[in-house]
Amino acid sequence: MSLRQGGLLKLTMVFLALGSVLQFILQFVASVSFLPIKIPALPLLTRLGEVGIYLSFVSIVTLSFLIWPKVKALLPLGLILMISPVFTIVPDYFASPWWIALEVGVVVLGIGAIVESLLKATPLSLLNLPTFFMVIILMWVALDVDVVHSEALLNYLALFDASVLGFALYTLVWKTKGLRMRRALASYGGAVPALFVFLPLYFVVSGNRFMEIIMNMVMPSVFGIVFSNPYSLPVFVLSLSLALYFIVALALKGNFLASLGYFMIVTTTFLGVNGYHLILYMIYPLVGSVLLNVGDEGASILFKLSKSVQR
């Protein structure tokens, strides 16, 4: 799906990327602050994380207005996000049927946005189908928690691993022919430091049962994921390291939109396991899924389908 990026769109994406990183820092800091460790500049990191939430809020609303001609279902999502703070003045708004209706509307519109953007994307985006299925399933899980007050028993790690595998293939295949070998190798080499953001944690938890028990509480608190097997943490950390590596590699190859979209999905989609506490977090992986589909150029799936029908 081709998308001409004007100056405002580029600026919006920069602010969205900055906001995404800062709000993730807040997620991480808030989750580990109860541990008996000293976190340098904790008040500053907390404030920056709060700024990140506001930046993300404004950026997603702006983005929904900028690209709605390409993905029309994104505009109502942006409008819902824009008016969502009004609900907080209603006592016990989170138990209101209006709030539940709003959540259902977000899920329906979000799925519509994913399908619409996928049909307008190139066939290469089909490699990210496991990611889209993961996002949709987590939306259903969130509604199950908020509406029915029950929790689905699923293998969330398997969903994540399938998503990472699909995204890794997408990154490797994207512009394989159109990119110079030197640029491609530089992208994969330049992304190596991203591996070591979480990879050291893998060696810590795989060889230390006590730290594994501690991190079994911390990592689900940060990402929201629930492990069906308590010994799954090392696999999750390894998958997370690979996901971050391919996110950075794809950005260096030139597909910034898709890399940002996947980062948004990884950092927020599993928060739905226990019910999304912010509409922003509910919309985040949906917008991330749309960005995964708008970062490529070429004949769309819908165009190819129409051509095959005409034949």
Q: What is the pLDDT of residues 260-297, one digit of tens each?
A: 999 999 999 988 887 777 888 899 999 999 999 987 77
Question: Quick one: angle between helices 7-32 and 256-268, nearest 10?
Answer: 30
Number of Cβ atoms within 10 Å of the Cβ of 282 = 29
- For residue 213, pLDDT beyond 60: yes
Number of Cβ atoms within 10 Å of the Cβ of 228 = 11
What span, in angstroms and rounded, lies between the C-alpha atoms of 42 and 244? Answer: 24
Listed in sequence order, the DSSP H helices in 96-226 are 97-119, 129-143, 156-173, 181-190, 192-195, 199-207, 209-223
pLDDT > 70: percent of the chain: 93
What span, in angstroms and rounded, lies between the C-alpha atoms of 166 and 250? Answer: 13
Between CA 128 and CA 251, with CA 278 as vertex, the angle to 5 degrees is 35
Provide the pLDDT for residue 4: 46
- For residue 47, pLDDT beyond 70: yes
- Give the mean model confidence (pLDDT) for residues 107-125: 91
Four-CA torsion 55, 249, 226, 201, nearest 10 degrees: -100
Could you tell me if 152 and 228 are in contact, meaning their C-beta atoms sit under 8 angstroms apart? no
Residue 234's closest CA among 266, 199, 264, 265?
Answer: 199
Provide the pLDDT for residue 308: 66
What span, in angstroms and rounded, lies between the C-alpha atoms of 237 and 251? Answer: 21
Query: Which of 55-64, 68-77, 218-227 has the highest mean predicted lDDT (pLDDT)?
Result: 55-64
- For residue 307, pLDDT beyond 70: no
- For residue 3, pLDDT beyond 50: no
150-208: pLDDT as tens digits: 777 788 999 999 999 999 999 998 877 767 777 778 888 999 999 888 888 888 887 77
pTM across the whole model: 0.91
- Give the mean model confidence (pLDDT) for residues 34-61: 86
Provide the pLDDT for residue 55: 94
- For residue 2, pLDDT beyond 60: no
- Give the mean model confidence (pLDDT) for residues 205-234: 81
Could you tell me if 89 and 46 are in contact, meaning their C-beta atoms sit under 8 angstroms apart? no
- For residue 9, pLDDT beyond 50: yes
Between CA 244 and CA 247, with CA 245 as vertex, the angle to 5 degrees is 60
